[in-house]
């Protein structure tokens, strides 16, 4: 149910004055009484359902393999797990959704930070193949209106995560406009854009229609911003966890009688066939996938799935949760970091691998630091990128290009030194005001400049207008029993405790901070210029689930899993968003 209107909220104090105050059940003091300090309790029923979301009622299920493991990866061993209720997009994110996102990013950041727009652009070149003619998809798939309702592809994990953050802010901004708290303010530029976290900490003050909600605390001003306690704003959009995606795809709610699942599912529908058995639709494909070698859509006159590549996001039949294309069309990113043994290691309640615990940045007096007014970069990542890029162009770069690369390396090293000294903002000033400007100012002889500018943009971690966060430190968690370190990605599978190679241990035991790549998945180089190499399994390998238009039926089984580096993308890979469900897992008034 939607939050109460701002008009009703404004009248609430008058109501309590005329009809008597609601009292605390533990102290007897009045709520919403200015004479008692003004502790406020605003009307709330339950969480509003965000745009395009459907409620996925949680429960227990057998996660993992239900099909024979002909890949012999042994990475999805069956186990019982519980997933809490949550929300998930009814469809994959479409090209038109992404164009809306690009329009906003260009309008807000295009003048001062065009690199942020470059970061948001999907890689349309993923369609190219050395022995196929796919140029029409390169040119038209993202932007032509014929494809506007098709799932967006060429989006990597980092871009998908950025989209979720952007969507959170736009939805909550719309709610505040709808409730009359903010006015429609399309002239947001740079850091002056609505961000949910910044608003909740009183660091966004543009576009106000009224001063806020009545503040009954007489010691403060007469009005205040909306708080999380008011229940008006929605939780964050995010990628679903692997367990959530698999649970939602199976849709076992349609196979349950009482507490019994009466039929185990191989696909998101009953039975072991991929064609519709219904008399009206008999023989029609239930999903968009590759039926066999050289068969992406069937025979002319009777196309088996009516799609050579992707299909519109509302195609085929939804599963029992009302979710479309959970077994085909495009594979989908999930939030988890990949490990072969995740199913053995993770908790059986809300399982997930990938936690990096963070906290808001504060000054010595405990006050929150001002939100960012510049882009924030992954500086260690940039240093590694410059090293790899320099090795790639070493033999072909001219003098001016080598000089630029040398300058960029020096600036990145200076920035890293500041970062180590906890001067994060100052470190990024070097990248924004020196490195980016040096690339933009390069002369026409520096042919690599456009490539560098585009690739630098992919290492942006935070945008202007976002609140400052940092990883929590060990010294902050001295008395904690549930965790000590901020980064728990490689816990039990790649960290010190799980490492058995004593020789390799010695090479890293002097490190004080987190290691970027798991020890178990590093092997030492050979020869005089020996360096360490990481396998494809590392802390940046992300899980994706489900089959695509170019996959065989095997991958339509929700328990199957694959992985890809978080910076890479494919023409067969898209995503959809999820959101936490707070409060009742079934909704108020639902039968028990």
User: Considering 462, 486, 513, which residue would you say is the last residue of a domain?
Assistant: 462
Taking 90 as the threshold, does the pLDDT of residue 314 lie above it?
Answer: yes
**Strand pairing of 86-89 and 213-214?**
unpaired
Please tell me whether residues 399 and 517 are part of one structural domain.
Answer: no
Q: What pLDDT score was predicted for residue 514?
A: 43
Query: Taken in order 554, 557, 561, 566, is the CA torsion positive or negative?
Result: positive
Look at residue 533 and tell me whether its pLDDT is greater than 70: no
The closest of 120, 121, 149, 154 to 137, measured between CA atoms, is: 154
Q: Is residue 280 part of a domain?
A: yes
CB-based contacts of 417-422 (< 8 A; 24+ apart in sequence): 419/379, 419/380
The pLDDT value given to residue 571: 98
Residue 216 pLDDT > 60: yes
Express each pLDDT in 247-299 by its tens digit.
999 999 988 888 888 888 899 999 889 998 888 888 899 999 999 999 999 99
Q: Do residue 505 and residue 521 come from a single domain?
A: yes
Q: What was the pLDDT predicted at 415?
A: 96
Q: Are residues 207 and 249 in the same domain?
A: no
Question: Comparing 216-220, 256-260, 343-347, which segment has the lowest mean pLDDT?
Answer: 216-220
CA distances from 19 to 13, 22, 31, 39, 217 (A): 10, 9, 13, 18, 20
Look-up of token digits 């690339």: 439
Residues 100 and 189 in one domain: yes
pLDDT for 2: 47
Instruction: Say if residue 121 is in the same domain as residue 108.
Output: yes
Residue 206 lies in domain: 95-237
Query: Is residue 227 domain-shared with residue 131, that is, in the same domain?
Result: yes
Is 358 inside any structural domain? no
Task: Select the more confidently predicted residue: 523 or 536.
Answer: 536
Q: Which of 221-230, 496-505, 583-592 has the highest mean pLDDT?
A: 221-230
pTM listed for this prediction? 0.91
Residues 180 and 248 in one domain: no
* pLDDT mean over 115-133: 96
The token pair at 217 is 């605390």
CA distance 446 to 404: 8
Residue 532: φ, ψ to 5°? -90, 140
Residues 432 and 336 in one domain: no
Please determine, for residue 15, whether its predicted confidence score (pLDDT) is greater than 50: no
Query: How does residue 511 score in pLDDT terms, banded at 50, 70 and 90?
Result: very low
| 3-class SS string, 27-68 | CCCECCCHHHCCCCCCCCCCCCCCCCEEEECCEEEEECCCCC
State mean pLDDT over 211-240: 85
Judge whether 448 and 385 are in contact, CB under 8 Å: no
Q: Can you give the pLDDT at residue 499?
A: 63
Alpha-carbon distance 549 to 590, whole Å? 38
pLDDT at 523 over 90: no
Roughly what angle, to the nearest 10 degrees, separates helices 449-457 and 399-420?
A: 20
Give the closest residue to 234 by CA, choosing from 167, 159, 161.
Answer: 167
Q: How many domains does the chain have?
A: 4
- Tens digits of per-residue pLDDT, 32-83? 888 888 888 888 888 999 999 999 999 999 998 888 877 878 888 899 999 9
Nearest partner of 333 among 60, 93, 90, judged by Cα: 93
518 and 561 together in one domain:
no
What pLDDT, in 10s, does the model give residues 392-415?
998 899 999 999 999 999 999 999
Domain boundary among 441, 462, 483: 462
Least-confidence region, from 17-21, 165-169, 439-443, 539-543: 17-21
- In three-state secondary structure terms, 532 is strand
Residue 21 included in any domain:
no
Same domain, 115 and 212: yes
> What integer pLDDT is reported at residue 500 of this predicted model?
53
Q: Which of 61-70, 224-233, 525-534 has the highest mean pLDDT?
A: 224-233
The 10 Å Cβ neighbour count of residue 72 is 7
In this prediction, residue 534 carries a pLDDT of: 62
CA dihedral sign, ordered 123, 124, 126, 131: negative
Start-to-end CA span in the chain (Å) = 19
Whether residue 184 is found in the same domain as residue 285: no
| C-alpha dihedral (293, 249, 491, 418), degrees to nearest 10 | 90
DSSP string, 335-347: EEEP-TTHHHHS-
Residue 87 backbone dihedrals phi, psi, to 5 degrees: -110, 150
Q: Which helix (H) or strand (E) holds 450?
A: helix 449-457
Q: Among the listed ranges 21-35, 155-169, 179-193, 211-225, which one has the minimum average pLDDT value?
A: 211-225
Q: Among 442, 419, 443, which Cα is nearest to 431's? A: 419
Residue 176 lies in a domain: yes
Those residues whose C-beta lies under 8 Å from the C-beta of residue 163, and which sit 6 or more positions away, are: 93, 98, 101, 155, 577
Mean predicted confidence (pLDDT) in 295-322: 93
Q: Residue 360 in contact with residue 468, Cβ under 8 Å?
A: yes
Residue 315 and residue 282 in one domain:
yes
What average pLDDT does this structure show over 502-513? 45
Confidence grade of residue 11 (pLDDT, cut at 50, 70, 90): very low
Query: Is 431:415 a contact under the CB 8 Å cutoff?
Result: yes
């Amino acid at each position: 149910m939607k939050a109460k209107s701002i008009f009703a909220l404004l009248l609430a104090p008058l109501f309590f004055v005329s009809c008597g105050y609601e009292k605390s059940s533990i102290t007897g003091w009045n709520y919403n009484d200015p004479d008692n300090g003004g502790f406020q309790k605003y009307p709330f029923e339950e969480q509003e359902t965000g745009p395009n979301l459907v409620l996925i009622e949680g429960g227990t299920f057998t996660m993992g393999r239900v099909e024979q493991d002909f890949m012999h990866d042994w990475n999805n061993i069956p186990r019982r797990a519980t997933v809490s209720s949550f929300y998930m997009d009814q469809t994959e994110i479409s090209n038109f959704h992404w164009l809306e996102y690009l329009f906003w990013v260009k309008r807000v950041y295009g003048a001062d930070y065009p690199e942020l727009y470059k970061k948001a652009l999907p890689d349309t070149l993923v369609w190219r193949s050395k022995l196929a003619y796919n140029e029409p998809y390169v040119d038209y798939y993202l932007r032509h209106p014929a494809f506007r309702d098709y799932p967006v592809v060429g989006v990597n994990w980092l871009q998908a995560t950025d989209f979720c953050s952007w969507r959170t802010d736009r939805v909550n901004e719309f709610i505040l406009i709808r409730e009359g708290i903010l006015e429609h303010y399309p002239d947001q530029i740079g850091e002056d854009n609505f961000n949910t976290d910044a608003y909740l900490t009183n660091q966004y003050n543009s576009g106000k229609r009224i001063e806020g909600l009545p503040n009954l605390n007489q010691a403060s001003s007469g009005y205040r911003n909306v708080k999380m306690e008011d229940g008006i704003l929605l939780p964050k959009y995010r990628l679903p966890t692997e367990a959530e995606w698999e649970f939602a795809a199976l849709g076992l709610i349609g196979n349950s009688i009482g507490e019994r699942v009466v039929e185990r599912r191989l696909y998101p529908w009953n039975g072991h066939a991929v064609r519709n058995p219904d008399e009206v639709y008999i023989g029609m494909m239930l999903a968009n996938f590759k039926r066999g070698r050289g068969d992406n859509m069937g025979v002319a006159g009777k196309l088996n799935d009516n799609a050579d590549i992707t299909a519109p996001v509302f195609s085929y039949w939804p599963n029992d949760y009302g979710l479309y294309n959970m077994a085909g069309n495009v594979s989908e990113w999930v939030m988890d970091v990949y490990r072969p043994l995740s199913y053995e290691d993770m908790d059986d309640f809300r399982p997930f691998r990938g936690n990096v615990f963070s906290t808001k940045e504060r000054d010595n007096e405990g006050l929150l630091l001002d939100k960012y007014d510049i882009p924030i970069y992954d500086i260690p990542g940039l240093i590694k990128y410059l090293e790899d890029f320099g090795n790639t162009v070493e033999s072909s770069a001219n003098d001016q290009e080598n000089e630029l690369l040398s300058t960029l390396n020096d600036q990145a090293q200076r920035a890293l030194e500041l970062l180590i000294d906890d001067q994060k903002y100052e470190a990024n000033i070097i990248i924004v005001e020196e490195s980016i400007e040096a690339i933009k100012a390069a002369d026409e002889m520096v042919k690599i400049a456009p490539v560098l500018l585009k690739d630098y943009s992919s290492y942006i971690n935070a945008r202007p207008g976002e609140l400052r966060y940092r990883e929590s430190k060990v010294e902050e968690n001295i008395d904690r029993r549930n965790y000590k370190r901020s980064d728990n990605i490689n816990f039990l599978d790649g960290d010190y405790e799980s490492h058995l190679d004593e020789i390799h241990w010695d090479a890293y035991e002097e490190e004080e901070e987190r290691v970027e790549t798991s020890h178990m998945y590093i092997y030492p180089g050979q020869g005089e210029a020996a360096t360490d190499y990481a396998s494809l399994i590392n802390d940046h390998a992300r899980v994706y689930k489900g089959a695509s238009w170019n996959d065989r039926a095997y991958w339509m089984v929700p328990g199957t899993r694959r992985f890809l580096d978080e910076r890479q993308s494919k023409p067969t890979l898209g995503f959809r968003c999820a959101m936490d469900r707070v409060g009742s897992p079934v909704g108020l008034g639902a039968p028990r």
